[in-house]
Amino acid sequence: MDRLFEWIKVVDCSRVFSGPFCSRFFSDYGAEVLKIETPDFFDESRLFYPIKNGKSGYFEVLNRWKESINIDITTQKGLEDFYELIKGADIFIENFSPWVKKRLKIDYDTLSRMNPRLIYWSVNGYWENWDKKAYDVIVQAESGIASFNGENKPIKNATAMIDAFSGNSLALGIASLLYKREKTGRGDFVNVSMISCGFQLLKQNIIATSITGMNPEFPGNQDTSIFPFGFYKTQDGNIAIAIWNDVLWERFCEHIIPEIAGQFTSNSQRMVAKEHLVKNMEYVFDNYTTDELVRKLEWLWIPCWKIASITDLIDTPKFFEENYLKKMHHPELWEIVVPYEFVHFNQYKIEAIRSAPDLGS
């Protein structure tokens, strides 16, 4: 089977999330990804929850298909072995602090002289000229995202969204440079900073503050620009509703809350009155179970769905049929479900998953 990145070799010194998330995209579609580790300096996520039979599910989901290579680049012999890999590599990935990679002699200037076709990929907290460590939770705070995420106090996002967005951004940058290299024959350097990714995720909110001079209020389960566009209580649970235009709003009112039909006809009016409207909506929704309300709103062509649990996802065959999720047998973790395809190609598929490597194997 022809694989998208079949002839690409990746040397990966990155750790934990953003870098491994990026390189997994390439390993999933056929690239040879060599993960550089040593028994004393290995990817810390090998120790992250959940752990079963000594194996980490966290590490597994980010490092499938890769090969762990035991090279200690702090020694002369290890550095020489590393340089030999770089000479034949297409992509190098790292998330070291700027001063660390210079001290280790694995910076872009050094490696590009050995291999002018090398695409050197770097992720760090604050570009290359700011030597400060960053982690997803810190950048959620420093980027301003946490300042208006929650009900009445800052709430950390449950998943590492900035890590994931950084990894996706890096994959996009690398793919762009692979295309450019086909035209020029030369590699290049691409850097993604986590703080800049956090700023991208602010979206319209930073524009709103620059216009009004006011920080966003805590929106709770509502959107900061559109209403109704959020989560709402029902008789037995919660439902997500996305009404993004006035026509849908009028249809919603006519069939669900007829007593306010013809009112709050613009999004601006609804945003001003959203606290009042949420109370009205949830008062009416208390007459419906979540499933009943979903059926009625879907009949009206109003986007909605119940708040699904993780067990709901695992029990939904359609997600597996469409390759969004994959069930696999792991020698230590046993039967597990993993995220699978998030980019759908017409010709290329992820083949049967090979487990993440043991250290140095």
CA distance 268 to 262: 15
The one catalytic residue in 163, 286, 291, 358 is 163
CA distance 179 to 176: 5
Taking Cα atoms as reference points, which of 296, 326, 289 lies closest to residue 60?
326
Nearest 5°: the CA angle 86, 87, 88 is 90
Sheet of strand 91-94: strand arrangement:
67-70, 32-37, 9-12, 91-94, 119-124, 188-193
List C-alpha distances in Å: 247 to 129, 228, 256, 274, 276. 50, 13, 14, 18, 20
CA distance 147 to 138: 12
Cβ–Cβ under 8 Å, residues 40 and 48? no
Beta strands at 51-52 and 55-56: parallel, antiparallel or unpaired:
antiparallel
Cβ–Cβ under 8 Å, residues 204 and 135? no
Identity of residue 168: N
Cβ–Cβ under 8 Å, residues 147 and 154? yes
163 is catalytic: yes
Catalytic residues: 163
